[in-house]
Structure 1
Amino acid sequence: EGLEDLKCEQAFELSDASAERSAAACTVKLNKEPIIEYLKSNIVLIEELIDQGYEDKKTLQRRADKMKAWIENPELLDADADAEYAAVIEIDMNEIKEPILACPNDPDDVKTLTEIHEQGLRTEIDEVFVGSCMTNIGLFRALGEVLKGEGQVPTKLWVCPPTKMDEHTLIEEGYYAIFGTAGARTEIPGCSLCMGNQAQVGQGAYVFSTATRNFDNRLGKDSQVYLGSAELAAVVALKGKLPTAEEYMELVTKKIKPEMTDDVYRYLNFNKVSKEDLEAMVE
């Protein structure tokens, strides 16, 4: 609770990461508006899938109809007012002043950039991966904005959008040209390094990744993997190391200004793209 206006995609990132906390389930309380926005987008996508012959047509249409029915009468489950919990953890977001990373090789071993530098952990990075199903198109735009105008990066940079719809849009918006100028290796949309089943990093490499897991050998044999944001990934790729908190803030705030955030971080709402673009995304 407390983040009721998150987009559904942002709530998915939180809830899916709960698996790393050994949780059996996770719920994120949202207001109706972001859910309605998400469902309207998905209805248009489902109907385009049907138009292009995807199966099972009846199952897809039933899902779309259920979404439409809920939008007509939106009701959400709420926790009981007198519910008792084993523990209540309160987090003051105003106290988070810098990026937080998961350190090698445990998603529970989290530290701020400052703590990593103060504790003398290795900060040099060999490879950077921006991808996994828990990234979204806005994070790839953010990556591009930080890399823009900086030339080729000294690290091996992997870029892999989760869907071909994201890939299509990023190409159209010119971000793939930025990735190319940076010398990035762009992967076919999908899992790529996150699963280690389509590609792997070098043996023993130190890696910065935007994925949700950094267990031993997942990204490559003997790899040592930090987890963090796409914005931090861009800075790491440019510097070849984990920056200080001050270096991070200086570069990212210069590259992604407040007036840019709505455009950079906007989600791919299929009900707001042209019919022609939607057809090309789904084909």
Structure 2
Amino acid sequence: MADTVRTLVLNKKDNVAVALEMVHKGTTTPEGVVALDNIARGHKLAITAIAAGDPVLKFGQIIGFAKSAIAPGQWVHEHNITMGALSQDYDFGQGAVPPDILPADKQASFMGYRRQNGNAGTRNYIAVMTSVNCSATAASLIANQIERSGILADYPNIDGIMVLKQANGCVIDNRGALFDILKRTVWGYASNPNIGGVLLVGLGCEGFEIARFKKACGIEENQTFRTMTIQESGGTRKTVEAGVAAIKQMLPPVNDVKRVPVSVSELVLALQCGGSDGYSGITANPALGMATDILVKNGGTAILSETPEIYGA
């Protein structure tokens, strides 16, 4: 009897299986198919006969069309699969299934941090942010000094300190669309409910001027939101010293929070495709998908970016 190898059929509609290990010619798959080729781990083999021009299905979706007839057990790859004409109904919401959401009194809860704006976070970080790439080094040095000092151990409600750098902000029109986009993005990070304190560091001459940014957002500095520029502080060394001092002053109020029960319906999960390989579509992506289904069932929200890779990656 031929050896049996491990394969995976991802959807009952599929006519291909994924090799979970090297499949040697002549071995038998759990589907009862004898391999006609040597098939590398992560690659596909046909589990039914696929006629020339017929769709090849993986994840229950059409991923291409057979260039020629493909026999059961044959390797399925670029040499025998191609793109083809496909007519789809592009009306918005076609095929959408209303989410199955639990009643509010049945939804799960978590212990989170309630912020002054009403939002709730799962963590409590201090963020050292930059208004321009020129201040990235100073921001990193500030955070590194705080981490190396060991002072965070004295503040158990603070999860850590992070550096959020960005490459824009220099030569931009402070009345233009780029300024507006950057303003919303920077404030979006700064006001994220997982951030308990913010130090925004700039150079001083950038188009994305910190003073104009604060005025545009209606922000006033306080115990947990501080800003500074390298030029006003007198150089990088003095900026780092001032930044470290500002963070140390910020630690007590940022630490002065308590977790309280929060409905899972308030959670927003951000999903970004990245580092895709032959396995992310059968490992990380389905796991995240199932976790997201649970979140949505409890009234939560998921946001998917890089939509061309929503399936198949």
**With structure 2 as the length reference, what TM-score do the two structures score?**
0.20
Q: Which protein is richer in helix relative to its size?
A: 1
Q: Which protein is richer in strand relative to its size?
A: 2
Rg: which structure is higher?
Answer: 2
**With structure 1 as the length reference, what TM-score do the two structures score?**
0.21
